[in-house]
Amino acid sequence: MITVTDLAESLGAGLLRVVVAGAGTDVHDVVLAEPGDGDSAGRPGELVLGIGLTDAAAAVALLDGAADAGAAGVVVRAHLAGDPHVVDAARRSGTALAELQPHVSWAHLVWLLRGVIDRASAPGVAAPDAWGSHGDLFALADTAAQVVDAPVTIEDTRSRVLAYSTRQDATDSARMSTIVGRRVPPHVLAHYRAAGVFRRLARSDDPVLAPAGPDGTLPRLVVPVRAGGEWLGSIWAVVRGPVPADRVRRLTDIASVLALHLLRLRAESDIARRLTAGALRTALRGGTGELDGLPAGGAPALPPGPWRVARLTGAGEEPDVRGRLEVWESVARRFGWHRPLLTDLDGLLFGVFTEAPPGRGEALGADDPGSLAWLRNVLDRTRSHDDGLRAAVGGLARSTAELPRSRTEAAEVGRLLDAGRQAPDLARAGVVVLEDVWDAVVVERARVAVGAGTGLSGSPLAALRDHDRAHGTSYLATLTAWLDHYGDPQRAARDLRVHPNTLRYRLRRLGEVAPMDLSSPRVRLALRLQLAALE
């Protein structure tokens, strides 16, 4: 499901900004509102573009018509979206209202929206890597290379190569390393940072001449690619001398076209991630028995199972789950998992990881992105001795119908870790699996159930608690230690830091205050669970 908010966030606030979120209706088409056309208010699920609107009254009328038609939302220019009468009409009708920024043309918006919506409903949407090719980017790189008569790469803001031109033979070793490794070598990046290249690209629309660098690195003419003030990437041309001003101007024009393509690719990728996360969220809630992922014949969102669900956290956690999601997505892609199965649910972040079936098949190793072994390896490499990312992992799910159970178990393990109630040897582990702490999980479930009931009603512990409060005794602590070390009074006494005779005296006294049959295993279990609830 794609909402107006999803579309706006995917395209970026520099192009489209949500003023009123509306009811979150699914968007499946775009329609133009023609002036004077009473039937242009849209149909259910359509996003209405108010191209011909001239005043607030017309915008209010369009919003009312869109609401009656069940349209997903209305897009208007910024001067209308800021009118209080228009905003009130959107809130009253429950229709989403978005504003188009002044510098963006309606034609460009239609092209971007149509591409994103069509991709979202196309087969294979769950596999963004398979969405055709980046042929347009490579064609633009070739065009740019012809303009400046030099080899060209198109790179994003993280210096990752998105496309490159032909004729890369007449260049330097740094460029070849960039193309082979799909990113600029670290020592070359350091050179450009020291020269202030990236600082200028992020702040200005003007082309930058990057100076020659180490190991024979040739100068570069760098043209920033921007849209709505946002820096999206750059065109890097290897040049051996000054470039004529008219060619630089033509390269800047190509950058404007390239900005639209980068926006579209980013929006499509973001929408695919949202759809996959939504399907995964539904499966983890138990809303469906199968996770086929997405509508219109989309490819399955999950690799072959079985799987385990993990609750994912990190040291110095981001204040919101979206921030945590971005951190984990970045880590996953950095270590080769290009389609990470991550989603947020009830304020927590979860991931689904694969594991080889017990007793058959080859084990999935650290080189298999998205496997549990891969997760262990990643966390071993990214965690410090004291903190870092952490995963609390639920039990094995052999079918998608078992994913909700594994998710619940992952959350339970996570709560144990948060509360510090895990074994000491697991305190610094990056991955803690249900099998590592199953006994603590069972006790925790019982403790929560006991605590959620009638407390100590009917229990002899009520009398011991009252006696401790009235006389300053330690009968509850004494009974806890004795139950924890049943049959070993020496260890129980050491835990209490008292002499064994003192322990025996206290046991006699507490038996007089609250008689109980401690020879009964069931009584001992019930007492220990209630003591755990008191803790």
Whether residue 277 is contained in a domain is answered as: no
Alpha-carbon distance 467 to 483, whole Å?
Answer: 19
Q: Which of 414, 448, 482 is the last residue of a domain?
A: 448
Write phi, then psi, for 101 (nearest 5 degrees). -65, 150
Tens digit of each residue's pLDDT (9 = 90 or more) over 286-298: 865 444 443 333 3
Whether residue 128 is contained in a domain is answered as: no
Alpha-carbon distance 141 to 154, whole Å?
Answer: 7
Same domain, 257 and 157: yes
Same domain, 318 and 395: yes
Distance of CA 421 to the CA centre of its chain: 27
| Six-digit token string for 427 | 């305190």
pLDDT band at residue 134, thresholds of 50, 70 and 90?
low
140-144 mean pLDDT = 89
Same domain, 158 and 215: yes
Alpha-carbon distance 199 to 193, whole Å?
Answer: 8
* Averaged pLDDT score across all residues of the chain: 82
Burial of 264 (C-beta count, 10 Å sphere; 0-12/13-18/19+) = buried
| Domain range for 16 | 4-121
Same domain, 513 and 393: no
Query: Residue 77: how many CB atoms within 10 A of its CB?
Result: 18
| Coil/strand/helix, residue 23 | coil
Distance of CA 495 to the CA centre of its chain: 45
- pLDDT for position 74: 93
Q: What is the CATH number of the domain that holds 228?
A: 3.30.450.40
The answer to whether 255 touches 148, Cβ cutoff 8 Å, is: no
Same domain, 84 and 153: no
- pLDDT for position 450: 79
Burial of 431 (C-beta count, 10 Å sphere; 0-12/13-18/19+) = buried
Whether residue 275 is contained in a domain is answered as: no
Q: Which of 237, 263, 289 is the last residue of a domain?
A: 263
Tens digit of each residue's pLDDT (9 = 90 or more) over 192-239: 999 999 999 988 889 999 998 887 888 999 999 988 778 989 999 998
Tens digit of each residue's pLDDT (9 = 90 or more) over 58-101: 999 999 988 888 889 999 998 899 999 999 999 999 999 999 98
Same domain, 385 and 517: no
Whether residue 270 is contained in a domain is answered as: no
My answer on whether omega of the bond before 306 falls inside 30° of 0, hence cis, is yes
At residue 437's C-alpha, the angle toward residues 529 and 281, to 5°, is: 105
Domain count within the chain: 4
Q: Which of 211, 241, 263 is the last residue of a domain?
A: 263
Alpha-carbon distance 482 to 501, whole Å?
Answer: 13
The answer to whether 34 touches 52, Cβ cutoff 8 Å, is: yes
| Coil/strand/helix, residue 252 | helix
pLDDT band at residue 375, thresholds of 50, 70 and 90?
very high
At residue 341's C-alpha, the angle toward residues 181 and 359, to 5°, is: 100
Same domain, 398 and 524: no
- pLDDT for position 322: 75
